[in-house]
Structure 1
Amino acid sequence: MIPQQPFQEIPFSSIDENILIGHAHNQGNTSGCTVILSKDGEGFLAGIDCRGGGTCTRETDLLKTGMLVEHIHACVLSGGSVFGLDCSSGVTKYLCEHQVGYHTDVINVPIVCQASLYDLPMFLHEEEVTSLPHSIKGNLHLLPNYYEMGYQACCNATNCSSTIRENGHHDLEYEMNGNIGAGMGGCIGKAQGTETAMKGGLGTFAIQVGDLKIGALVAVNCFGDVIENGKIIAGCLKKNIKNFEQLECMNTVCDSNECSSLFADTEMVLINEYLKRKQDWNGFALNESKNECDQDNDSGQQQHFKEQQRACTNTTLGVVITNGKFDKAQLSRIATMAHDGYARSMKPSHTLYDGDSIFALSTYRDTTSSHDEHAPTNVAGALAAFVVEKAVLRAVKSAKSTGGYVAYCDLNKLLS
C-alpha cells in the first residue's frame, strides 16, 4: 500500500489545463459516453493494455510499439457495446470541423481511439431485464444514436480547474463521478445474472508527487465484486436480498460487517457452480437411464445459456493521464501496471467475461519545462495502479440507484 505522503490528491482536471473532458448520455439516462480531448488540438501520446477476454475497441492497434501513429486526438469510453463504437464517428466529425487531425492533401484525419462496455440491459424496464436476449433482438430503436452522442460529448468538453481556482479552493467533490458519461449504464456483480447486480458508474482520482501529476478515469461495469480493504463493498447480491421497489438514495452506507451478509461472493458462486456441475456429471455416470440423460442435456443447455449471458454483459474501462514525459512504449507499460488497480479493487478481474482495458495518455509538451521529464516508468506505473484502484472505489461509492439496480449508497435499505 502506497503511504499517504509524499503525494497529495488533486482535482482530476488540474493534471493539465490542456485536458478537456466531455460527457453525454441518451434521453433515458441509460447509456452514455466520455470523451477526452486536448484544448490545443495536438492530442496525446498514448499507450494501451487490454487484459480482458472480451474487448470491444476501435483504432487501438495503432497504439502498439512500431506503428506509425504517435499521437491520438481523442480517447473515447462508451456504453452500448459494439453499437457504442459509433461514438468515435461523431467525435471524428467534430474534430474535422475544428481542423484537428493529421493533415493530408484532402482533409484532416483525426485519430480517435475508443473502448466500449456492455450496458444494454439498462435500456429495458427492470422486469424485462431477465428476458433481455429475446427482448432486444431486432429492436434497434431501443438503442441511442451513439454518433450524435459522441459529437455532443465533444461539444460538452471542458476543463473545470479554472472555475475551481476562481472559487479560491480545490473542491474535489466538484469532479463529476457516478451516473455520468461512460458509467451511466454500468452495473457490477453479474455472476447470477443482472437481476442480482448492483449499480456501477464513472470515477476519477488524481494525485501529485513532486512535479508529476497522474490520475485515472474509470467506467466500472465489472463481472466481479468491488473490494475495499479486503472486503466486498458492492457486487453480486444474494438472490433473496434484492426485493426492493423504486429506490431513493439515502446517502448513508451500512457497516462493512453488516453489508457482508448481503453479498453472494462472485468467486464462491463460480466455485460452487463448478462443484455442482461435477457432482451432476458423476451422478449421470452412475445412472445412464434415458431420463437422466435428458436431464443432463437440459442442465447443459441451461449452463450454456448462462455462460452466453455472462459473456456479453461486462467490461471495465479506464484512462490514466499524466503530465510526465513518456513515449508510447513506456505508456503501454504504465497501462499494464495500472491493471493492478483493477485486481486490487475488483474480484475477480480480467475474466473471459470482461473486456478490461486501460489507456495511458501523456499531456507532455516540449515547451512546458515545469513537467518532470525524468519520472521513472516504474514509479508512474505504481502510481497509476493506485489511482485506478481509488477511481474504481469512487465510481461505485458515487453511483445512484437506477433502472432496478441498487447502488452502494442504498445498501442500508436492503437490511431493513
Structure 2
Amino acid sequence: MPQLRNLITDVPGLRVGNAHDPALASGVTVALFDEPTVVSCAVLGGAPGTRETDLLEPDKMVPGIHAVVLSGGSAFGLDAASGVQACLREQGIGFPVGPARIPLVSQAVIFDMLNGGDKDWGRYPPYRDLGYEAAKAAGHDFALGTAGGGYGATTANLKGGLGSVSTVTASGHRVGAMVIVNSIASAVIGEGPHFWAGAFEEGDEFGGHGHPEKVHPEKRELIWKGGPQPATTIALVATDAVLTKGQAKRLAISSHAGIARGLRFSHALYDGDTVFAAATGQRPLDDVEDFTHITAAAADCVTRAIARGVYEATALPFPTAQPAWRDRFAAGATEF
C-alpha cells in the first residue's frame, strides 16, 4: 500500500486543485474525479449557497458527477463551477447527451466578503477564472490552511482555512475529508490552544495538545461572529467503497456529526453547513457493518480536518485580520 499523505487524495479516484487571489482574499478548491462518481450531499445549515445539489438526491437520474467545488465568494463564488466545467469540457469530459458532453459540477460556497480583501472586482467576479485555474492545478498533493477556497476563511476568533485528513478502516477501505472552515463559531476550547477536535487527533496533525483535563463551564460559553453575518463550514468526504446514491446520502448526513464535534457550535441559522459525500467505487462493500464503519470514519475525518484547517492557516495581511492559531500558540509564539 502506498504511503498515505493524510489528505483526501489518499482515496483513489480523485485529485484536488487550489487557486486563490491574495488581493481578493478568496479562492477556490476543486475535487476532480477520474471517472463519473457517485456523489450525494446533505445541507443542514440555515443559510447555504449551493449549485447542482438537487441532482445528487438518490431519486434523481444522474448516476455520477465529475467534480465538486468548495469556494469562497458567497453567491458570487458559484461562478467557479463554470470555470471547472470549461476545463473539463476542453478535455472532452461530460455527461453524454447525444453529441453534447456536459460536465456535471456541484458546488458549495462560504461567505468571506468581510475579511479585508478587495471585492471591488468590476462587472463580473473572478471566480470563473479561479475555478479554471484550480481545475488545471489538480493533483494528489495540495496546500492546506490559507489556500484555495480556504484562503479567506475565518472563524469566530481565529483564522480559518482548508483542512484535509484521511484514514483506513479495519476492513481496508480508505476514507478522507476536505473541509473549508469558515465557521460562525469557534474551533478551539475557550481561548485555546486546545481544539474541540483534540480527542480525535492522529499524531501531531494539529499541534498535539489533545484535550484539557476538564472543560469548565466558562470554556463552553458561546463564542461567535455575532449579528447577521453568514458563516459556513463546507466539506467533501470520500471513500473508495462501492456505494449507491442512497448510501452516499446517508454518508453525507452522518458526516455532519464531524462538524458538530469539531466546532462549538454548528448548523445555525446564519451558516450554510454542507457536506458532499463521494464514493469512487474502487473496493466492494462487504456488508452493513462495513458501511457503518465508513460513516463513523468519515465523521471523524471531518472533525480532524476542521482542526487541521485552522492549525495550518496563516493570518491575512490586513490590519483588522484575525490572528492565526500558530501566531498565538505555536512554539515561540508570544501568546498562550
Same topology, TM > 0.5: yes
Report the alpha carbon displacement of residue 346 of structure 1 after superposing the two structures with TM. 0.4
**Unpaired stretches in structure 2, ≥5 consecutive residues:** 196-205
**In terms of mean alpha carbon deviation, does 103-112 or 90-99 score higher?**
103-112
Matched-pair contact (CA < 8 Å) for 1:58–1:114: yes
Question: Distance between the aligned counterparts of 1:225 and 1:393, measured in 2?
Answer: 10
Letter in 2 for 1:323: D
Question: Distance between the aligned counterparts of 1:256 and 1:411, measured in 2?
Answer: 18
The equivalent residue for 1:399 is 313
Change (3 A) 1:56 1:362: same
Report the alpha carbon displacement of residue 143 of structure 1 after superposing the two structures with TM. 7.8
Change (3 A) 1:15 1:254: closer
Does 2:32 correspond to 1:32? no
Larger Rg: 1
Report the alpha carbon displacement of residue 27 of structure 1 after superposing the two structures with TM. 4.4
How is 1:323-334 mapped onto 2 (pairs within 5 angstroms)? Answer: 323-334=240-251
The equivalent residue for 1:354 is 271
Report the alpha carbon displacement of residue 256 of structure 1 after superposing the two structures with TM. 8.4
The equivalent residue for 1:158 is 139
Does 2:137 correspond to 1:225? no
TM-score calculated relative to the size of structure 2:
0.83
Does 2:309 correspond to 1:382? no
Letter in 2 for 1:344: R
Letter in 1 for 2:122: H
Aligned identity (percent) is 32
Higher strand share: 2
Higher helix share: 1
Report the alpha carbon displacement of residue 378 of structure 1 after superposing the two structures with TM. 1.8
Q: Pick from 144, 158, 167: which aligns with 1:198?
A: 158
The equivalent residue for 1:45 is 38
Change (3 A) 1:396 1:17: same
Matched-pair contact (CA < 8 Å) for 1:179–1:185: yes
1:230-262 superposed Cα distances (whole Å, 9 cap, x missing partner): 985489xxxxxxxxxxxxxxx9999988xx9xx
How is 1:16-415 mapped onto 2 (pairs within 5 angstroms)? Answer: 16-28=11-23, 30-39=25-34, 42-124=35-117, 139-141=120-122, 144-160=125-141, 176-189=143-156, 197-209=157-169, 210-227=171-188, 232-233=192-193, 267-268=221-222, 307-308=227-228, 310=229, 312=230, 314-365=231-282, 371-374=283-286, 376-402=290-316, 403=318, 404-412=321-329, 415=335
SS of the residue 1:321 aligns to? strand
1:280-335 superposed Cα distances (whole Å, 9 cap, x missing partner): xxxxxxxxxxxxxxxxxxxxxxxxxx633x2x2x1011000100111111111111
Report the alpha carbon displacement of residue 109 of structure 1 after superposing the two structures with TM. 0.8
1:43-75 superposed Cα distances (whole Å, 9 cap, x missing partner): 210111111000000000111121111201110
Report the alpha carbon displacement of residue 28 of structure 1 after superposing the two structures with TM. 2.0
SS of the residue 1:32 aligns to? strand
Instruction: Give the superposed CA RMSD.
Output: 3.0
Q: How many residues align?
A: 311
Question: Distance between the aligned counterparts of 1:205 and 1:253, measured in 2?
Answer: 15
TM-score calculated relative to the size of structure 1:
0.68
